[in-house]
Chain A
């Protein structure tokens, strides 16, 4: 049912554009609405046709329920192809179909588990390809076309599926989204066309000027919302990967001495309960900061503390002697205090 609804959405968006144009165009041009629609269609279609020449269908091994296919695109005229990392690359044969329907045997050059990217190579010459820009391509609210072979609907030389939508948000991973959800640091481009479908990963997101915004990422569930994310890995990260620059490593967890604030939390409700202070030990940073039993810890160092478990996680990331701001709720007041963690006594 869901895929049907999603394709319905696509068509409605087209209607929307037409409607907007009809309303916006001054009176004298009203009669031209059909023409305007045709022009828009024509524009999107030209961008698509150009982009589709650079797209490929990737087929590999399927394992159990995991699909053995994905989308990819060319990033050099001699046949470098970017796609998503996945088990479909594990078999001894990976096949790539270029937009002309010709099948090529692909060799896997590089795979990156952290960024979930793979670089493949096929033997072609003078191929049409996407050049990878350094900076950000596309802004929040900009129209984009998502091009992919979701559900493997296109076969042989058939063009891939295009979906129209907008960029929802460019968000920095280290600051936002739950760290468990996506492995890499850096930026993520959230989009509003539905791309969280099998086979869509490795597809291209392009602007109306035909510029590459990023690569459609594989299906992940956001633990913030418990829904599937529709997103792209931005072009700048693809460029680093192709250039074989070292992935910015995940937060370096150098061996730190454990810290404490001198707070004992109320844990009778288990670790998923709110972080109410049960006891403040004497002579500790917490006492110096004036914290009291029954205060509710709201945030530490800008990180929200929703539960006892989150408190423990955030505390384990603090550094001895490095002052942070703690916010607690007392009655209906919010109290902000600087607090300096000390080394945990055994």
Chain B
């Protein structure tokens, strides 16, 4: 089927090219008429529809029943999570479904899934990765599901077509948005970036290439924050993220086993170092990895895993690339000795949030 699509597209091009060469500008194949360029754009729309058609058997609608928001007030930039259904993608013949953790902020006690043939199944929540905002569901259906084709990571190119799909607006048929890949290595190498519309309408849904292969799972992300709803404030802004599943076999199998991945937590409150490079520690959280490693107030961190920590921003970036359970090497200048020393410590998961996380407001447009 795929080879046929490709062949068909390029054949159309050859025809377009040769027609214009013969009819409008004899002998000059580079001259394309206005009609040809229109044809080209009309063909893209056709290709988009074919891409949607080829992923449809893997696309599911997720329904949540009950559940009260664990977050009071606003989530990220929007007032609260919508009431509608959300999107997921079947990734194994046995009925494993990858979707976004955003869809379960309200922690519904019951989740059901409607597959593309219209049947409804009760779903079980398995593992979740809070650093990528994806999670794994499982349904038991007495049939095998198709496995979506994944785009290999080395084939990702900035500028290639990206098509986002989601059923969040309520229709059985998914809403589509077309854009391009804007960057291939974002948020600590976890995500690809796209300018196709990404919003609660398609979080958990697929980002496809023009051939209908899976580029990634649409999620809200913000490289500066790992709070539960971070990234929603950028919905439909032209800055959207998707988590590629190619090369993530290990992660997926651990999620299938119910494992959880948490953001990294070091346990320090830091400030810019008034005396130069590095970050100055204002406070160490009791019992945290930093505390256990013997880091003290007024020490200055200058290096993590061989990467120089110049400022607060960089510290945050480095920590965002890591996750709980990882061992790191941290170099600091203790306030007492002023002699650089290197410590090894294992990152922990952050303590549960007290009250609501700092809200990130959408700028008001008047």
Contacts and interface: CB of A to CB of B under 8 A. Distances in A.
Using C-beta atoms within 8 Å of the partner chain, give the interface range for chain A: 35 or more
A306 B32 contact: no
A243 interface: no
Interface residues of B, number: 78
Nearest to A23: B160
A24 B210 CA distance: 11
Contacts of A178: 83-84, 170
A269 B180 contact: no
B94 to A, nearest CB: 16
Nearest to A304: B63
Interface in A103-147: 139-143
Candidate in B37, B121, B180, B195 with the most chain A CB atoms within 10 angstroms: B37
Contacts, number: 238
A230 B201 CA distance: 12
A9 interface: yes
Given A17-B41, A225-B201, A9 B159 contact: no
A319 interface: no
Interface in A1-28: 1-3, 5-6, 8-9, 12-13, 15-17, 19-21, 23-26, 28
A166 B121 CA distance: 33
B78 interface: yes
A156 interface: no
B30 A35 contact: yes
A280 B196 CA distance: 49
Given A9-B195, A171-B171, A298-B120, A165 B161 contact: no
B122 A192 contact: no
B112 A225 contact: no
A75 B269 CA distance: 63
Q: Is the interface of A mostly helix, strand, loop or mixed?
A: mixed
B302 to A, nearest CB: 33
Contacts of B72: none
Interface in B29-87: 29-34, 36-38, 40-42, 44-46, 48-49, 52, 63-68, 78-85
Contacts of A175: 171
Interface string A164-206: 0111110110011110000000000010101001100000000
A42 to B, nearest CB: 6
Interface in A197-225: 197-198, 208-209, 222-225
Q: Top 3 A-B pairs ranked by shortest CB distance?
A: A224-B84, A274-B66, A9-B238
Interface of B: 9-10, 13-14, 17, 29-34, 36-38, 40-42, 44-46, 48-49, 52, 63-68, 78-85, 108-110, 112, 120-122, 140, 159-161, 168-171, 173-180, 182, 195-197, 199-201, 210, 234-239, 362-363, 365-366
25 contacts: A2-B365, A3-B365, A9-B237, A12-B180, A16-B159, A16-B179, A21-B40, A24-B10, A32-B29, A43-B34, A67-B366, A139-B45, A141-B176, A169-B173, A175-B171, A177-B170, A226-B200, A228-B236, A274-B66, A298-B65, A304-B63, A305-B65, A329-B122, A332-B122, A333-B122
Interface of A: 1-3, 5-6, 8-9, 12-13, 15-17, 19-21, 23-26, 28-29, 31-32, 35-36, 39-40, 42-43, 46, 65, 67, 139-143, 165-169, 171-172, 175-178, 190, 192, 194, 197-198, 208-209, 222-230, 269, 272-275, 296, 298-299, 304-307, 327, 329, 332-334
